Chains A and B, each alone.
Chain A
Amino acid sequence: MKKIALFLMAVTFIACNKNDDGQTPLNTLVDIRFQHSFDEQLVDNTTFNAIQYNNAFGSELSLTKLRYLITNVTFTNQDGIATKVRDYQLVDVTQNTGMFISGTSLPPGTYTLKMRFGFAEPENNSGIYPDLNAASWSVPDMLGGGYHYMQLEGRFIDAGNETSIYAYHTISAVQNPGPDNIREDTSIEIDLGTINIENTTTTIKVNMNISEWFKNPNVWNLNTLNGMLMGNYAAQILMQENGQNVFSLESVRSVQ
């Protein structure tokens, strides 16, 4: 019975994969993979915890946690027709979850690919995303509410040559934290440019260069800016500026 089921599953799969002419697939599968680096060094959760990276300031550091929110992942074809493939996705490098957006079905062609780091202002409302609530991803209302953009944490060797800790959390920048705070949208548009999708399964790799958070244009001194950054408006603006070139298109590969 199992063999029959397997055979029929195979036939079903083949039947799904071709159009009525039995020749050219109408759509192709597109996967987006998020990968991470510290400049040239690839990063994943197996490389966490060891103090092995050097930031632009010259501090040696480690990563112990990295998770961030990607929103509005959208392909737009040359006719200007947009296909949003994900409203939001929590990429959790620490837990190795949310690293893929799989199974998108698109007609072959040329597209622009855009996404956003964090929720844009109209979508960044407190408590409305149950899965993010359960993931403790919320920002308290007194700090502007809504949701975190990123939690990047680790250790570094401080100016006194001691091991110290940092928590580089990005949120919507907020002035006057408290009940009368004023929030400012500091989410970041990620424009990955033009992508050509062939008629075979395509994998798009998007890279986050973590080093950029500490480098460009603001060289980050962890000795002075290592925690309590959520309510620090000036720090959030610096982070947003440094985040402009963090993401890049690593590769587009078609699999025959």
Chain B
Amino acid sequence: MQKFTFLVCLLFLTLCCTNDDSSEGYAPTPASISIPGVFLQLLPAPEIPANNPLTEEGIALGRQLFFEKKLSANNTLACAGCHKPNEGFSDQRRYSIGIDGIAGFRNSMPIVNFAWNTKNKFNWDGSANSLEQQALEPVINEIEMHNTWPNVVETLQTDANYPIAFGEAFGTTTISKERVAKALAQFIRTLVSGDSKFDKYVLGEATLTPLEAEGLAVFLDEDRGDCFHCHGSPTNPLWTDNDFHNNGLDEDFLDLGLGDITGDPAQFGLFKSPSLRNLAFTAPYMHDGRFATLDEVINHYSEGLVFSQTIDPLMKTVAQGGVQLTVEEKAALKAFMLSLSDPTLATNPAYQNPN
């Protein structure tokens, strides 16, 4: 009797839910991310929020919006203006320039493989808790696109094509900032980089040079590079821990990073570990782009660390100024890190400007 009651109730519950969810009667075409072999082998499935599933129409709209200059107040700047496909979806300028000619104060963060950001903290300072939230901010940032959301929505709504595209993506031609953000987030989740030489090596399809192999050894050696705790390893092909650290750049902080968002003094000067993928295309480096070359980055960790109150305990050699690599070890480390670059990212037709 009890089992019967249970089943009847479940049936009613299912009907209730179904009625609520299908009220609009339109369903876009489900889509999925193209997952590289090395990710399939080593990583969990990407995290897609239930309230913004990937659809072919949503991704196509997001791609269109990503390259759309009308998101900015004077129609001159798109997301892709600071996250360029041929620059690792970053910007090779130290600071990106907004529509009023004003430079920002951080280097543009690469935005690939974000579907595997299991900690759901985005931006150098962790200021966004989801990709959907992250997509909202640059439009109204006074240094960047310097627009307003009502203005963006009105612009897109009066466009000949966008209402149709939103209708296809979301079942309604009514445009909102939330739907713009959802579409952008869908497209960004499809930006996947997993076809570097090192990926091929992991899959048994390529061989590392002796220099690259020695660089990997330096990278993984706790007594030498000790890079793996923050920047992944052959079993973490994201090449980031998606966490926040003070990596010994400054004794005093001009930019508080994560601490500026949380207000916690223990988090002053902490910034998100960027992925080491695509370093060949994403110079300059660090949150403020202070290092123009990979050599400068390696020299920092080798001899340039400085102590501060929030220094990460993983900067174990800060008292000695760094890990003290030899010239040969530095060259090897650089060669290995460059093997993590994926040239197909820039040429993938699905990531190009459709407009």
Contact = CB atoms under 8 A, between A and B. Distances in A.
Interface of A: 1, 4-5, 8-9, 11-12, 15-16, 18-20, 22, 48-49, 64-65, 95, 126-127, 130-131, 133-136, 138, 140-143, 153-155, 163-167, 177, 226-228, 230-231
A18 B16 CA distance: 25
B316 A228 contact: yes
Nearest to A65: B313
Contacts of A5: 12-13, 16-17
Interface string B152-180: 00000000000000000000000000000
A11 B43 contact: no
Interface string B13-40: 1001101100000000000000000000
Nearest to B231: A136
Given A12-B9, A134-B236, A154-B313, A18 B319 contact: no
B232 A136 contact: yes
B97 to A, nearest CB: 34
Contacts, number: 115
B118 A135 contact: yes
B313 A153 contact: yes
A133 B313 contact: no
A126 B235 contact: yes
A53 B9 CA distance: 54
Contacts of B119: 95
Given A16-B6, A143-B220, A154-B313, A136 B236 contact: yes
Contacts of A154: 313
A212 to B, nearest CB: 20
Interface in B100-132: 116, 118-119
Nearest to A11: B9
Given A22-B2, A136-B233, A142-B221, A167 B44 contact: no
Q: Which of A4, A142, A153, A167 has the most CB of B within 10 A?
A: A167
B42 to A, nearest CB: 5
Q: Which of A1, A8, A153 has the most CB of B within 10 A?
A: A8
Interface residues of B, number: 48
A8 B12 contact: yes
Q: Which of B44, B220, B309, B313 has the most CB of A within 10 A?
A: B313
Given A9-B13, A12-B13, A154-B313, A127 B5 contact: no
Given A167-B314, A230-B222, A138 B235 contact: yes
A131 B44 contact: yes
A140 B283 CA distance: 27
Given A133-B43, A231-B223, A15 B2 contact: yes
B19 A227 contact: no
B232 A143 contact: no
Nearest to B45: A130
B238 A142 contact: no
Nearest to B239: A136
Per CB-CB distance, the 5 closest pairs between chain A and chain B, nearest first, are A227-B316, A140-B220, A49-B266, A136-B241, A153-B313
Contacts of A153: 313-314
A127 B234 CA distance: 8
Contacts of A135: 118, 241
A133 B13 contact: no
A130 B42 contact: yes
B33 to A, nearest CB: 15
A153 B229 CA distance: 12
Contacts of A140: 220-221, 228, 233
Interface in B301-336: 309, 311-319
A142 B313 contact: no
B10 interface: yes
